[in-house]
Homo-oligomer: A and B are copies of this chain.
Amino acid sequence: MPQSIPSYSGIPMPSLRRLPGYHHFLKQLTELKEEYVSATTIAQELKLIPIQVRKDLAYTGIIGKPKVGYPVKELIIAIEEFLDWNNTKKAFLVGVGDLGRAIIKYQGFHKLGVEIIAAFDSSPEIIGSTIGGIKILHVDKLTTLAKRINVKIGIITVPEDAAQSIADKMIVGGIKGLWNFAPVKLKIPRDIVVQSVNLAASLSVLCKQLSDVIKK
């Protein structure tokens, strides 16, 4: 089997990943009171080509006007609907180190419809404290609480060796989507969705490109 992913709605993964970038730029345009925007303009800003932008946007169901472009407000809404940002999803975060703290405090995920309800750790010093309005609880409460509150997303910011066991607990608690920052390939059932943020991969690519460029 390949690195096959649970059926998602026909959109290619790269297109899906580009959509938030379009949204971001469109939001800037609304501040400038622009009513319409062309694929050409978007492409220039994001260093893409117009045809690619049109293809990507088409997946959201938006319909543009020839000669005019896309209606900015409608397009923003189309992207948000498509990405399901309006549907708030509850999330638990486990592992309140610096990275966990950064994610808890960062306001930007609300607009993606993700709301961190509680955070968990195993260290007695921080359990009971509050960060960015979020209570830090003991990991042991994770599973039962997840079940009770019907939490859908689990954010894993624990060290590598704890990641799998935390993932297991989350899954038992009924969590369906994992956002994983630990450098591990999580072993999970088919019906669970995972996105891993692979920092080592990203930095390695940078180093490799750098050494190639310099060598040349």
Interface presence of A58 (CB below 8 A)? no
Interface presence of A199 (CB below 8 A)? yes
Give chain A's interface residues, CB within 8 Å of chain B: 1-3, 5-9, 13, 16-21, 24, 45-49, 52, 82-85, 87, 89, 97-99, 101-102, 105, 108-109, 112-114, 152-153, 176-179, 183, 185, 191, 193-195, 197-214, 216
What are 15 A-B contacts defined by CB distance under 8 Å? A2-B48, A8-B212, A17-B201, A18-B201, A20-B200, A21-B198, A47-B185, A83-B207, A83-B208, A89-B207, A98-B105, A99-B99, A108-B200, A112-B207, A152-B210
Residues from chain B with a CB closer than 8 A to the CB of A202 are 17, 179, 195, 197
Residues from chain B with a CB closer than 8 A to the CB of A114 are 203, 207
Rounded to whole Å, the gap between the CB of A8 and the closest CB of chain B is 5
Residues from chain B with a CB closer than 8 A to the CB of A210 are 84, 89, 152-153, 176-177, 193
Q: Knowing that A3-B47, A8-B208, A85-B207 are A-B contacts, what are 10 other residue pairs whose CB atoms are under 8 Å apart, sorted by A's residue number?
A: A6-B213, A84-B211, A89-B207, A98-B105, A114-B207, A152-B214, A176-B213, A177-B209, A193-B209, A195-B205
Residues from chain B with a CB closer than 8 A to the CB of A198 are 17, 20-21
B200 touches A112 (CB 8 A): yes
B84 touches A208 (CB 8 A): yes
Residue on B with the closest CB to A46?
B185
